[in-house]
Amino acid sequence: MPTDKEHVHNRIAVLRAERGVSRRDLATALGVHYQTIGYLERGEYSPSLHLALRIAAHFEVPVEVVFSLTPFPRLGSTT
């Protein structure tokens, strides 16, 4: 598990839910094992730069929309 200094926060689960994409479908599109997507979503694994860019490209958003070094605000939060 990455340390706090190495932890990369992500919105993969949110993007998948918005688009109705399963972990398995995303994994197939990216050429990774479906469990890798689960590890990423739970923060148990930080993606390589190459994988992070491929995930962002798959969702057609900038990488900063998917990944951050600081936690994302909760959905519906006013702060």
Domains and CATH numbers, the chain: 9-68 (1.10.260.40)
Digitized pLDDT (tens) for each residue of the chain, 79 residues in all? 555 567 899 999 999 999 999 999 999 999 999 999 999 999 999 999 999 999 999 999 999 999 999 998 876 766 5
Cβ contacts of residue 39 below 8 Å, gap of 6+? 45
Structure tokens at 42: 């739970």
CA distance 24 to 40: 13
Neighbours of 25 (CB within 10 A): 14
CA distance 59 to 73: 20
- What is the per-residue pLDDT for 59? 98
CA distance 21 to 12: 10
